[in-house]
Structures are given as structure tokens and as C-alpha cells.
With several copies, the nearest count.
Chain A
């Protein structure tokens, strides 16, 4: 198990950027992060305003999600996400309009036509595999996709994500075991925010880091600071390259923060120290990355404003679009139980 970070100070000058990462890449990653956050915040507004019955957030996970997804080949690789992966879904091509339709359960929602709760990202066209709500079942699907890719002789890579709490499920063990035996091109991402709803990590596992489990599968395991998109990207690229070149699976644990309650149905004040949350808010990955990009001279105030404007416009458009969209017709209830 390796510890990884981009060596903070080590990256304060542009010429020291990890190979392959251009300014444009960094700006794109930053804009995805801002878009994910702003979209998420709007969803909460709609929930508190009574228009959206449910919201589950990626706030605090965006840097990790955007960096991890950016290391994949969109259009070729396969994503098997979990409910917080809004940032990944955006990188893979779901649009704010798509996600707002899903939020409101409206007709045209490409992820489920209003059948699933928000946060169930899905699109065959975009290689985002449909998921359920039971945690950790998807990690086995990730291994299965990778098995098919291998048997078909492709160099496709599958990435599947789960929270650290979900790693307690038997499915997680079975997936890592199967993937390591067959040396599959799959990356197991654990987004470790320290909580499973109210249950803190120390009640979920006896180890300090999930990545310590990788050795039990003869698999590389890496813990990375998921608040640092560059460090995360470096780790993800290494894993993706390994998987694509036949080097087998990798377990990546991204340490992140959960800046919201578990979901709009949760109230975290009963179990979460206010100080802890404050401390984590003070290390919000988005302002941290912004500051860094400005230091690096990659991002100017002007560009920042343009990004904010673009994002705001997209979100307003998506909100209006979804609000005006019709609900599915009740007759759709009986469709798609079986194929023709």
C-alpha cells in the first residue's frame, strides 16, 4: 500500500506539472468541479423549495471524481459509478439537463425515465452502467465488464466506485478476489469520506485505510488525497495505464470529505461534531484548487469569471428545462419489464 500526494510545494511551478497534464486539462478539470458543485447546490435549493423530493451530494468529492474520470478514455472506457459520482457522470457526458430531469423524475430523464431516485447515473450510450441503490453490488459488475473486455481482447478499462462503508459488504471482497485472480483491467475506487451515513470509519473497519486490504489480493493499493485533483490524477493514470497494458486491477482509496449531510433526508448534527465539519469546509477542494491554479498562473480572474458565468447559465437552463418538462405518463408504468 502506497501513500500518495502531489507533494504540495513540489507542484507550485508549472514546469513541474505531471507529464501529460496541460493547462487546458487543468482548466477543464476545474470547470467540471465547479459545475458539479454548483449543480449540486442548485439541487439542494430545489429540494428545500419542495420541488425535488430527494438529493444526494458529491460535495467534497468533486476533485477526486473529476480527476479519476479524467484519467479514463471517455467514449471507450466503462464507468460503474455510485450515487455520489455526479462529477464523474458529467465528465462522461451526462448533461445538467439530463441530471435535472432525473432529479425531478421527469419524462426524458435518460438515466431511468424518472424511475430511479436521483444519483443513479446511467447511460448505455455513454458507457455509464446502470446501478441500483444496494451498495457495493456494482463492484462485481465492474469486474464483470473487465472480464468481458479481457475475453474480447479489448484494451478497455472499467472503473467502479464505492464508499468506504460499502467496502464492508461481502461483494467488495468477492469482486477484488475475482478481479485479482483473473488479472482484470478494472480499477476499484473507494471514496473514503470517513462516514457511512452516521457510522464513523472506526466502526466500519479496524484499519486506518481501505487500501491496506489490497495486499490481501496481491493487488496494488494506493491511498491518495482526494482533495488534490492533480495527485489523484497521477495515481489514476498510473492505474489506468497498468490496467490497459494488462497489468491487472488496482485499488485506489481517495480520502475525501462529505461536506453535506448524507442526503437531503439526513440530519448530521446528531452524530457529527460541528468542529470537524467546519475544519473540512475550510479545506474545500474547489477553492483550494482555484488558489493553486492561480498561483500556477493557469487560471486568471477573468477566466474564473467566465467559468462561473458559463456554469451558472448551464444550470439555469437545465433547471428551467427540467421544470417545464412533463412527468412520465402513468401508462409508462408497465413498460420495460421484459424485452419484446
Chain B
């Protein structure tokens, strides 16, 4: 056990897994000497060498496509996409190839790769260094998508992802890298993909969230409790595909009021599926509308500080929604 930042938990886990299994390689732009633009892979090339830590050309389709080919021939690549915003050239390889390989070959082939990428905003990254486009991937059967924000979850889920026999998209909130800490077990504590975590129990309202919005949600929940004793249950999805039906439906059934919060824009976001699932399977237990607080419905997050601030959900906006929901 040690207290670690999100970024250190991810890096340490890669060290552990690369030591444990020489089939694990890391490939991406600037992942070598530079240690990645965020320093997530810092030091890997020194210990494992340029054969296992590969600075690729600036070409995302090749990063994922070559990783897939290498997985076909016995390696277990971890492919880094420098920013989630730049994953688009690799979408064909991820959605049409990686996610469909097991199905199209009826299980004869599979695709054990992990695609790591920093997502999210609030760092003055503007339209193309702030995106939260996870919903493009969470709709894809055959793919698994995780977005842990707590370092211990990142550690446990990255271990599981590297051991998984199917492709996993591993989302790392770049603002959380050096902001979020907790206690992380050493080389241990694998966490199953597909399990949410009840971060805080409550009885009046359920907040379902993930990523940096977990922190805002907890702050808003605290305020609501102090302000008027509202007991808020807060759930961190951690895995975005497959969703944890039991956790989601269980809590919705218990509190009867659900607020979904994410940084990604609202329409067609992960929250839409969560809401639809509840409206279909826990309808009888609902005491109020299923509300969503999400990023502004604009193409992406602007650069200028007041615009960036206006784009992002925060504890005030979440608190206002909690009030409206509690009133039902």
C-alpha cells in the first residue's frame, strides 16, 4: 500500500506488468525517451528497451493496426493514443477490426490489446485536447471501455485490462493525473471490468457518474447533506462498457431518484444509456425524472477560461439538479 497519484498508479502498473510478462509492449507517439507528453510512460524505455517501448510514427491507424497484428502473433500490446481527441484515425482499426475479430472468426481469433488514452478537459486544452467522446466506443459490442478516476481503481483495472483476452479502451482523465490520489496496493488488487463502485451510500437520491465528475458529485452531495439533510448515494461507474446493471438498477430501485453526471456532452452520452436502462428496467421504482447534468451541447470545449468554465459541469450545477430532484 502506498499513496499514489493517478499518473503514478498507471505508470507503476505498466512497470509491474511488463516485468511479469515479456509479451507486453508499449507503443505510441513519444512514449520512449520523452516518457509520453504527460510522462505516463516515463522510465519504461530505460528498463525495457526500445524493442518493447516503441516510439511510433505520428499515425494513429498504424499504432492500433500494428498493435492488432502484433497481438495476432502472440504479443500483448499496450497502444497509447496521445490524446483521445486524436483517436479518430484509428477508429476503423478499433471499431471495425479489434472489436469484431472474435465475433467474425467465431472465437478462432481474439484481440488482446489495451488502448490507453488521456481524455477530458479543464486544462485549457481547447476543442482538441479536452474531448470526452467515450460514447462513440461504449456503443460497440466486442469492445470494453473503462474510465477509472481513483488511482487504486486505475491500478486494478489496468492489470485486468492487460490480462483481458479482448480489446480494452482505457481512459485516463488528464486533469486527474496529478490531482487525484489514494491508497494503491502494490502489484495486486486486480479489479474486474464491469463493476461499478458505491463510493458513498445514501437513501434519497442516486448520483451515477465517472471521471472527474465523481469529485464534483461528492462535493455536491456533501453540500446537499449539510444544507438540507439529503442523503445522496454516489456511484462511480468505473467501467463504461459493459455497464454494471446490478449496481445501477439496484441503487435506482433503492432511492427512486437518479441523477446522472458526466463531462461529456449530454445527447447520446453514456448517461443516455444509463437513463434508458433504468427507464426500461426500474421504472416501477422511480419517484422522479431521471435527470442528467452534462457538458454543454457544443462541438467541444473552448479555450478561453470563462468559456471553458461555462462548458464544464460542476458542484453548483449538480447541486441545483439535486435540489430539483429531491423536491419530487
Is there any pair of Cβ atoms, one from A and one from B, under 8 angstroms apart in the complex?
A: yes
Q: Which residues of A contact B (CB under 8 A)?
A: 53-54, 78, 80, 105-106, 110-117, 120, 122-124, 129-130, 132-137, 140-149, 151-152, 156, 158, 165-166, 168-171, 174-175, 177-178, 181, 196-199, 203-205, 265-266, 270-271, 327-330, 332-339
Which of B57, B72, B307 makes the CB contact (< 8 A) with A144? B72
Q: Which residues of B contact A (CB under 8 A)?
A: 25, 29-30, 32-35, 37, 51-52, 55-62, 65-75, 85-86, 88-89, 92-93, 96-97, 100-110, 124-129, 141-142, 144, 164-166, 296-299, 302-307, 309-311
Q: Return 7 A-B CB contacts under 8 Å, by A number.
A: A115-B304, A130-B109, A141-B97, A144-B70, A168-B59, A333-B298, A337-B141
Contact B129 A117 (CB under 8 A): yes
Complex CA gap A183/B69 in Å reads 16
Contact B29 A151 (CB under 8 A): no
Complex CA gap A134/B306 in Å reads 24
Which of B96, B104, B142, B310 makes the CB contact (< 8 A) with A116? B104
Sample of 4 further A-B pairs with CB below 8 A, known A114-B304, A265-B37: A122-B104, A143-B69, A169-B60, A204-B57
Closest 5 CB pairs of A and B: A144-B69, A140-B65, A114-B304, A133-B128, A105-B304
Contacts of A265 in B (CB 8 A): 37
Contact A140 B69 (CB under 8 A): yes
Complex CA gap A305/B301 in Å reads 43
Contacts of B142 in A (CB 8 A): 337-338
Given known contacts A122-B109, A169-B59, A270-B35, A174 and B65 CB-to-CB distance under 8 angstroms: yes
Contact A181 B57 (CB under 8 A): yes
Count chain A CB atoms within 10 A of each CB in B25, B97, B110, B144 and give the residue with the most: B97
Contact B55 A132 (CB under 8 A): no
Contact A327 B65 (CB under 8 A): no
* Chain A residue, CB-CB nearest to B64: A140
Contacts of A332 in B (CB 8 A): 106, 307
Contacts of B25 in A (CB 8 A): 151
Contact A140 B61 (CB under 8 A): yes
Given known contacts A116-B104, A117-B303, A174-B62, A141 and B29 CB-to-CB distance under 8 angstroms: no
Complex CA gap A181/B66 in Å reads 13
Contact B307 A132 (CB under 8 A): no
Contacts of B299 in A (CB 8 A): 337
* Chain A residue, CB-CB nearest to B27: A147
Contacts of A129 in B (CB 8 A): 69, 72, 109
Which of B92, B126, B305 makes the CB contact (< 8 A) with A134? B92
Contact A137 B92 (CB under 8 A): yes
Contact B57 A205 (CB under 8 A): yes
Contact B302 A114 (CB under 8 A): yes
Contact A327 B62 (CB under 8 A): no
* Chain B residue, CB-CB nearest to A179: B66
Complex CA gap A114/B142 in Å reads 18
A134 to chain B, nearest CB (A): 5
Contact A140 B107 (CB under 8 A): no
Which of A114, A132, A333 makes the CB contact (< 8 A) with B97? A132
* Chain B residue, CB-CB nearest to A125: B108
Complex CA gap A330/B310 in Å reads 6
Contact A175 B297 (CB under 8 A): no
* Chain B residue, CB-CB nearest to A174: B62
A232 to chain B, nearest CB (A): 24
Contact A106 B57 (CB under 8 A): no
Contacts of B30 in A (CB 8 A): 196-199
A185 to chain B, nearest CB (A): 11
Contacts of B58 in A (CB 8 A): 135-136, 165-166, 168-169, 196, 199, 204
Given known contacts A152-B74, A204-B58, A271-B33, A130 and B108 CB-to-CB distance under 8 angstroms: yes
A334 to chain B, nearest CB (A): 6
Contact B59 A174 (CB under 8 A): yes
Given known contacts A148-B73, A197-B34, A328-B307, A113 and B62 CB-to-CB distance under 8 angstroms: no
Contact A174 B97 (CB under 8 A): no
Contacts of A271 in B (CB 8 A): 33-34
Which of B61, B71, B128, B164 makes the CB contact (< 8 A) with A174? B61
A251 to chain B, nearest CB (A): 16
Given known contacts A53-B124, A143-B62, A333 and B29 CB-to-CB distance under 8 angstroms: no
Complex CA gap A271/B107 in Å reads 40
Complex CA gap A213/B204 in Å reads 65
